[in-house]
Amino acid sequence: MDLSAYSVRTDLALEAKEMAANELGDNIPGLESETDEHEGIRITKIKVASPEAGQAIGKLPGQYITIEVPKLRENDSDLQNRVTTKLAQEFAAFLQEIGVTKEHKVLIIGLGNWNVTPDSLGPLVVENCLVTRHYFELIPDQVSPGYRQVSAVAPGVLGITGIESSEIVKGIVEMTKPDLVIAIDALASRSLERVNTTIQIADTGIHPGSGIGNKRKGLTEEILGVPVIAIGVPTVVYASTIVNNSIDLMASHFHRLTDQTGQILGMLDQLQEQERLQLVKEVLAPLGHDLLVTPKEIDQFIEDIAHIIASGLNAALHEAVDMENVSAYTH
């Protein structure tokens, strides 16, 4: 989890697009999006086709798929299975679209920290992925058809290792020569409702915020030499964004109720969103610092979504894994 994520407005392209649309209107040139919703699962595909479109929404050019499942935290195993299958299908199609064939070797990187629950998504996914590279290396003639060469590493976090994840991953990539890296990361979101209900897939790799300076490196094709797909799930929210978001909601709530256009929230109405967020942050600062918060039930939520992602990847990466009965392959 990259703390500098806060300095960018959001880790999610979907939220970035919504924010941009609020300011710039719906029609941003070079920005395409389509949404499909079915039985509680909404899938939005966003294509940022030009650098201008990227700048408009503060996201790199590339393709983004967002899977939103508002009821995913309700412990419904049926829904979880459907999401897993859907993720597998979308991910397989995504691989095909960007030219990944079934001979391509994949390295899965689980970013984050085992010992901080909302940050443990990546390592948990790694633990549940079906890895096969060692069989291809040690007993290549005994590997059944339908399996791809897959490896998976959780490199740890800077505070524990003293080494940037991107350096560790670059070393592993150079030793093992995968054709594709898939990086799993926990994200910060703008709203509590997204925490552990939203999955984003992007072909842009992982870019740390610019806050800490250009010394921090990302996981990108530029750095690693192979394409990088990022899978992210919001697991935390800044307290300040909850507050700011709620003020927004209150403003529109009042406007609806009163049908007024005047200064319903007084001075708050006059502020631009970024100014107001800055204000909220200033106000919260004396309270210690602007804390990242997570739902009380995070232990269970993280386990559930790690299982969904690992199972989805297993089915998308290995033809031999049944898309409809994906859960059987993880513990």
Q: How far is the CB of 215 from a second copy (least distance, A)?
A: 6
Taking the C-alpha atoms of residue 111 and residue 185, their distance in angstroms, rounded to an integer, is 5
- Measured CA angle at 226 (ends 224, 228), to 5 deg: 85
One-letter amino acid of 292 = L
Complex with a second copy: residue 25 or 215, whichever CB lies closer = 215
Q: How far is the CB of 27 from a second copy (least distance, A)?
A: 28
Taking the C-alpha atoms of residue 57 and residue 47, their distance in angstroms, rounded to an integer, is 11
Complex with a second copy: residue 54 or 112, whichever CB lies closer = 112
Q: How far apart are the first and last CA of the chain?
A: 25
Please give the DSSP secondary-structure letter assigned to residue 112: S
Complex with a second copy: residue 90 or 119, whichever CB lies closer = 119
Q: How far is the CB of 175 from a second copy (least distance, A)?
A: 4
Complex with a second copy: residue 25 or 257, whichever CB lies closer = 257
129-to-18, 132, 255, 310 alpha-carbon distances in Å = 33, 10, 49, 5
Q: How far is the CB of 56 from a second copy (least distance, A)?
A: 27
Q: How far is the CB of 87 from a second copy (least distance, A)?
A: 20
Complex with a second copy: residue 33 or 176, whichever CB lies closer = 176
Helical segments of 58-187, H only: 77-97, 121-128, 133-138, 158-161, 165-176
Q: How far is the CB of 67 from a second copy (least distance, A)?
A: 17
**Cα–Cα nearest to 125, from 198, 71, 186:** 186
- Other CB atoms within a 10 A radius of the CB of residue 25 amount to 8
Complex with a second copy: residue 62 or 208, whichever CB lies closer = 208
Q: How far is the CB of 93 from a second copy (least distance, A)?
A: 25
- Measured CA angle at 128 (ends 226, 149), to 5 deg: 40
Taking the C-alpha atoms of residue 46 and residue 35, their distance in angstroms, rounded to an integer, is 9
Q: How far is the CB of 50 from a second copy (least distance, A)?
A: 33
The answer to whether the beta carbons of residues 41 and 67 sit under 8 Å apart is yes
Taking the C-alpha atoms of residue 236 and residue 214, their distance in angstroms, rounded to an integer, is 25
Complex with a second copy: residue 18 or 282, whichever CB lies closer = 282
Complex with a second copy: residue 49 or 131, whichever CB lies closer = 131
